[in-house]
Structure 1
Amino acid sequence: MSAPAIRDAATVIVLDRSAPAGPSVLMGQRGATAAFMPSKYVFPGGAVDPEDAGVRFAQTLPETLRRPLMAEPRADAAPPSPETIVATALRELAEETGLMAGLPGAAPQGWTHYHAAGLRPDPAGLIYLFRAITPPGRSRRFDARFLLLDAERLRGDRHDFSSACDELGHLHWVPLQEARRLDLPFITEVVLAEITRLAATPGPLQAPDSVPFFDNRGPQPRFARLL
């Protein structure tokens, strides 16, 4: 059997620094019968769809987001544009949680949550935080970009998950001090350490000077930082 192809993917970490229990992140649990990471608690996200290319945003991508998203493209496939990665992140967030980051305007075709709210997706508040490629030997492999979003950027009630799909169960805001007690994938534990560091910094969330990259394309793992 041939090795599975590496699929591009995007994950969104929504951070609520105003939560009564302290800085919290939005997480849900994958189903017990899921083909990839069953029963694990994860952040919302998923693979890039062809329809994610060409999505029109309410604002252009900031350079601090665009530049590192273009770093180190893989040689095995045409790289998705930074806009495509961001579209995947915002689309998956809306589908899996019902939550949106947008401004008044025309929604992209097929974005039912945004259409119902009269919103166009807004990438302005996203921060590129982490990148990881699934190691060899797994049933599915992803080149996942982890994007951070301040919950203040959300439109509507951040506790209303009534329009979420059923892909993630037990959706809730998890205090950072409690998140590591959950059944987590290894890479999620690593990402949580990065989030904890940023959450402790006062003032608006700032993009890091470089983005950690766990590169598992080959038989030997490699760690790098993307500028």
Structure 2
Amino acid sequence: MAVNGLKKSALTETARTSARIRPRDAASLLLVDRSGGELRILMGKRHMRHVFMPGKFVFPGGRTEAADGRISAIAELSETDQTKLLTGMGSRSSVQRCRALALSAIRETYEEAGLILGRRHPERASIAHPDWAAFVERNILPDLSVLRYFARATTPPGGSRRFDTRFFLAFRDAVADALPEATGPSQELEELCWLPFPEATQLDIPEITRLIIREAETVLAANPSLEPGNAVIQYSMKYGRFVREVF
């Protein structure tokens, strides 16, 4: 009985620890190709070696690093997008944290898909951080003004890894350069593909990814040029159930 009691106690403590894990800031970019008659979205398959969602199709994205907020940009977030990001941050709000979220979406898109979002700088682009070396080599500075913040989702309690992910939309037009091998240097995403929205929802994807794709469709239907000012959809666990809220 004592052994069973100890096991039960250990399991209970593990559950409590998981519930206390603060979600880490993360960002993801839904890149949309509007060059043809039908809008297409970029998706990639997570490598099976990943602990978090192995083999699932996702958008480029990942953890936000504090250093991202200090990276130079050729243009900043729109006032509307920045305000909406700040509003959801509570006591930990700061412009630098807003910038870090947006810049990490751009950085992860390069690392996972080999696509560089930004504009060429009239002089020599200066970014003193190794994660952004590919931008400097091409004299490109990231462009935050092309991003539209439109959704947020927080991983429910209980897992060993939790993320507070902000989702951004941008058009493929914003890509200034790309790696010739059509993949990113991190090799985290395989089978990169541009798919119409309905086809993307039929992939092996997490349910939250399917919901975010549909939210993106709704935003683009109402705002096809992605002008600032769209509503932000938030998915989170409240009172034991998954809740959708609009801000």
TM-score of the aligned structures, taking structure 1 as reference length: 0.89
Aligned equivalent of 2:74: 58
1:196 correspondence with 2:196: no
Sort the Cα spacing of 1:74 and 1:183 in 2 relative to 1 into closer, same or farther, 3 A. farther
Equivalent pairs counted in the alignment come to: 224
- Which secondary structure state, in structure 2, belongs to the residue aligned with residue 156 of structure 1? strand
1:46 correspondence with 2:57: no
Q: How does 1:1-227 map to 2 (within 5 A)?
A: 1=14, 2-3=17-18, 4-19=21-36, 22-73=38-89, 81-105=97-121, 106-108=125-127, 109-110=129-130, 111-156=132-177, 161-201=182-222, 203-216=224-237, 219-226=240-247
Q: CA deviation at 1:40?
A: 0.7
CA contact (8 A) 1:107 1:121 kept: no
Mind listing any 5+ residue stretches in structure 1 that lack a counterpart?
none
The whole-number CA distance in structure 2 between the counterparts of 1:10 and 1:183 is: 21
Sort the Cα spacing of 1:217 and 1:57 in 2 relative to 1 into closer, same or farther, 3 A. farther
The whole-number CA distance in structure 2 between the counterparts of 1:217 and 1:54 is: 33
| Structure with greater Cα Rg | 2
The whole-number CA distance in structure 2 between the counterparts of 1:5 and 1:114 is: 32
Q: CA deviation at 1:98?
A: 1.2
Q: In terms of mean alpha carbon deviation, does 35-44 or 214-223 score higher?
A: 214-223
Mind listing any 5+ residue stretches in structure 2 that lack a counterpart?
1-13
Aligned CA-pair RMSD = 2.3
Sort the Cα spacing of 1:7 and 1:203 in 2 relative to 1 into closer, same or farther, 3 A. closer
Q: CA deviation at 1:181?
A: 1.2
Letter of the 1:14 counterpart:
L
Letter of the 2:133 counterpart:
T
Q: CA deviation at 1:139?
A: 2.6
Q: Percent identity?
A: 31
TM-score of the aligned structures, taking structure 2 as reference length: 0.82
Sort the Cα spacing of 1:5 and 1:201 in 2 relative to 1 into closer, same or farther, 3 A. closer
Sort the Cα spacing of 1:217 and 1:71 in 2 relative to 1 into closer, same or farther, 3 A. farther
Q: In terms of mean alpha carbon deviation, does 10-19 or 202-211 score higher?
A: 202-211
The whole-number CA distance in structure 1 between the counterparts of 2:184 and 2:159 is: 32
